[in-house]
Amino acid sequence: MAEFLVKVADERGHVLEQAESGVSSAEVRDRYAQQGYLVYSVKPRSLLSGAGAQISRRRKIKQDQFIVFNQQLVTLIRAGLPILTALDLLMKRQRNAYFRALLQNVRDRVKSGELLSEAFAAQGAFSRMYTTTLLAGEKSGNLEEVLNRFIGFQRMTMSFTKKLKASLIYPALLLVGVVAMLVFMMTYVVPQFATLYAAVAANTQLPALTQFMLSIGQITQHYFLIILLIVIATVFLVWRWSRSESGGLRLDQFKLRLPLFGDIWMKYQVAMFSRTLSTLLSGGLPLVPALETAGSSMQSRYICGGITSAASRVREGRALSRSLEDTKVFPGLAIEMIEVGESTGALPTMLTSTAEFYEEDVQTALTAAMSLIEPVILIVMGTVVAFVLISLYLPIFTLGAGGVR
């Protein structure tokens, strides 16, 4: 999702300026307007905008730390403590200075009369799903139960994400090893052979393959820093492009078209969407706001756009399953499971089942993919090393057969 700099004023006239993620500037503007803010401007974050004052607003709070905070908040609410007293206690016990400053601001806003959800939303450091969950709990008068569902969702998400990252560690290490080995060979080993052949076979014609490899080695050695800077600049520009609205959308579409991994990425996003929507609906949030919140929490702009389009159709009175089907984004099995949940009146339960099904499917598919990728990386690494060594030792083989020609 793209990032925007938003300047708004609340009902008390307090002017706030913060960074916010969204599908488009219009979507961010509508989101703040629906929350009761007066929106002055919504501008895309440029390359350098917000580098100073805004950077502290966008710092991430560790997920496990945030889960512990919410668990403690639920315990204090269950014990009958007022929200302000609970916030005071948790703020004083908080060791993270940044998080403590946010909680202090939240406490001050609640003390001045703002809702807890509004106070957290004004910080710009908490997900929209969290603030919407708080709002649903406040409106239903059952904040404790809603927060418990949110904590359960966060624990499941964190556990699932950790399993995925653990599956990728070994292939990532292999890939880093391959790149490091190639850099070492091209910047040190190949130039050493070039010096050797320049002294031993100065007046002889080396094989074309050897000349090609020596040329690559010399270019890499002499221009290594320039090549490294070009690579870093290219990666940085691609990253900035991916943060833009059009660039992120194209990159997401490219991810989904990748063989094998595109299907895994889609299933992962469907699992996250299903679990998020189930949590919001179970907390008492209406379907359309829940859809919009779940869509804004998606990592894929392409899928987020599909959910936003489906939310518009649902607002017009269409069924959720048919609305999702019309977007041509979600897999058929997920739509069928959602349709069953709608027809039986157990949509949150069926969404949870959908999430569990796709989470298990992602883990199985990723395990199978990793079992294929690891030997492929080793084969490619061995092939490249063999090609380099053969090209370097080819003149020596020729000498053994009767001299360098």
The 10s digit of each residue's pLDDT in 6-23 is 777 766 666 677 777 666
- pTM exceeds 0.85, yes or no: no
Q: What percent of the chain has pLDDT over 90?
A: 3
Say if residue 85's pLDDT is above 70.
yes
Neighbours of 357 (CB within 10 A): 17
Q: How far apart are CA 230 and CA 366, in angstroms?
A: 33
For residues 75 and 85, is the Cβ–Cβ distance under 8 A? Answer: no
Q: Out of 34-48, 317-331, 366-380, which region has the weakest mean confidence (pLDDT)?
A: 34-48
User: Is 25's pLDDT higher than 80?
Assistant: no
Note the pLDDT tens digit of each residue in 253-263: 888 888 878 88
CA angle 207–212–214, rounded 5-degree value? 95
Q: Which of 5-9, 273-277, 379-383, 397-401 has the lowest mean pLDDT?
A: 397-401
d(CA 43, CA 48): 13
Instruction: Decide if pLDDT at 198 tops 50.
Output: yes
Tell me how far apart the alpha carbons of residues 9 and 28 are, in angstroms, rounded to a whole number: 14
**Which 8-state DSSP code applies to residue 403?**
S
The percentage of residues in the chain with a pLDDT greater than 70, rounded to a whole number, is 89
* pLDDT confidence band for 52 (50 / 70 / 90): very low
Strand 38-44 relative to strand 15-22: parallel, antiparallel, unpaired? unpaired
Strand ranges of the sheet holding 15-22, from the earlier edge strand across to the other edge: 15-22, 2-9, 38-44
Decide which of 372 and 26 is more confident.
Answer: 372
Model pLDDT, residue 229: 93
pLDDT digits (tens, 9 = 90+) for 148-187: 888 887 887 788 778 777 777 888 888 888 888 888 888 8
Q: Tell me, what's the pLDDT at 21?
A: 65
The pLDDT of 396-404, averaged and rounded, is 59
- Least trusted range by pLDDT, from 25-39, 176-190, 258-272, 376-390: 25-39
Q: Taking the CA atoms of 283, 289, 293 and 294 in sequence, report the sign of the dihedral they define.
A: positive
**Band of residue 50 on the pLDDT scale cut at 50, 70, 90:** very low
Instruction: List, for residues 102-151, the tens digit of each pLDDT value.
Output: 888 888 888 888 888 888 888 778 877 788 778 877 876 778 888 888 88
Q: Are 115 and 128 in contact (CB under 8 A)?
A: no
Give the per-residue pLDDT at 399.
60
Is residue 19 within 8 Å of residue 45, measured between CB atoms?
A: yes
Per-residue pLDDT tens digits for 329-351:
888 888 999 999 888 888 888 98
Q: Are 383 and 285 in contact (CB under 8 A)?
A: no
pLDDT of res. 64: 82
For residue 400, what pLDDT is reported? 56
User: What's the whole-number average pLDDT of the chain?
Assistant: 80
Least confident of 53-67, 128-142, 156-170, 195-209: 53-67
